[in-house]
Amino acid sequence: MPGDRVSAVVILRRLGQLALISLSRFGGAAIGFVTQIFLARVLLPGDLGLYFLATSLSAFLAVVAGLGLPSVTVRFLIRYKDRERGNLSRLFLRTSRSLVLLSACLLAAAALLVVNLWPGIPEATRLAASYGALAVPAFAMCRIGGVSATAFRRFNLSFLPDLFIRPAAFLAVVVGLFVISGRLSLPVVLYVFAILAAAQAVFQNVAVSRLVPDDPHQRHGGGRIATAWVRAALPMVSIGLLTAIFADVAILFAGFFLHESDLALFGVCIKITVLAGFVVNTVYQLALPDLAQAFKARDAAQRDKAVGLALLLGLAVSVGALGVGVLAGGPILGLFGPDYVEGQGLLVILLVGQALAAAGGPGVQLLTLTNGQGRGVWGSLVTVGYLLALDAALIPVLGLTGAGIAVVVANAVWAVWLAVQVKVSLGIRCDIGRLLSGAPRKLGDPAPG
């Protein structure tokens, strides 16, 4: 039947997109790992620490500047874009971009003022932080452009530039510059970093603009509805700090208390840990279709099977990564240079934190599927507060070990909070405790007292 052929074509196209995106995710992770090794080899440890500080500052401020709008963009654009009348997709996109760009520019200007006027900041730190601040508008616009492309099912436009193209271009440019000149300075690396982000932001947002349908009945104002959009989005800022850029938040907070060379070692270790977290998150993403179908069909057996499998695979990956860290952490860190081998103990501590996070299970995914992601807001705020407070208390006393312990505690707090929220709102366990719990219950059954 023609309809069956069309459906088959659509399915094959989606599978091809999924395969390409998955390959890009893993390819981008591999490129990022190689890039970090290269930079560790050609930059002094202090300069590498400042590189991590600058890029983490950009990521942190870009998420804050987004006002949570990237987290709700797909929801609102999908709601609006297929309307024949009253299509607000162009208004939403224009308003979101304007708000994000204005917020990013104000935050970047404020950061520039602070780092350049605050007394006692070393000159090298001022320069690195200034480059990081200047890149904030570009990265904020990359976030809004990428999620907007997702709403129009242009997954290649959404994921490929961020996951693969820009990291590959960054590696190619910095390696080329090193081959040509025989050296590579931190300002040059950060300049390339900022320029490529700006290029990605322009490309994605121009391309998305061509996808937005015109509506002759569309309003030109939108102050009241824009306020409603921002009100819905703002609670998602703190969640984005933990789900999208936790490693950058940890590096930035630790950077307040660590010397640049120690920050380089901490950054290398946590970036390695992120690879394990990346695989765990991919496992959870692969479980999403089964989970979504189970909730739609109210199929408790399929739901429990999907949750249990995701939990077990996530734990297996994290425990396996911890074993690799214990047995081969030193040689792996040796790839970055002899100065980094001593960080094996820190790497193991951070991998313990990753295992604790995995023990919490796919809590974010389950809450998102059931429109309960707002339940994570207070938990994310508490977790970020714990991380900063523990860094301030432990790093001056224990140094790098204190930074590692702070990350472990933050991971544990976040995992417990999510597991509790899933249990309260959905009546199921998604954490390691479900392995010891009784028989699964039907969807909709009340949680036991």
pLDDT tens digit string along 42-99? 998 889 999 999 999 999 999 999 998 888 887 788 777 666 555 677 888 889 999 9
Q: d(Cα 263, Cα 50) in Å, to the nearest integer?
A: 8
Q: If you search the block for the tokens 């946590």, which residue do you land on?
A: 270
For the whole model, what pTM was predicted?
0.82
Q: Do 310 and 359 form a contact (C-beta atoms < 8 A)?
A: no
Q: d(Cα 168, Cα 449) in Å, to the nearest integer?
A: 52
Q: d(Cα 362, Cα 415) in Å, to the nearest integer?
A: 9
Q: What is the DSSP letter of 165?
A: I
CA 255-261-263 angle, to 5 degrees, is 30
Q: Do 339 and 396 form a contact (C-beta atoms < 8 A)?
A: no
CA 132-253-340 angle, to 5 degrees, is 85
Q: What is the DSSP letter of 445?
A: P
Q: Which is nearest to 134 in space by CA: 160, 98, 167, 105?
A: 105
Q: d(Cα 157, Cα 204) in Å, to the nearest integer?
A: 7
Query: To 10 degrees, what angle do helices 123-134 and 45-65 make?
Result: 40
Query: What pLDDT shows up at residue 442?
Result: 45
Helices (H), 210-245: 223-233, 236-243
Q: d(Cα 93, Cα 73) in Å, to the nearest integer?
A: 8
Q: d(Cα 212, Cα 167) in Å, to the nearest integer?
A: 28
- List, for the chain, all residue ranges whose pLDDT scores fall below the cut of 50: 1-6, 10, 439-449
Cβ count near 6 (within 10 Å): 10
Q: d(Cα 159, Cα 338) in Å, to the nearest integer?
A: 35
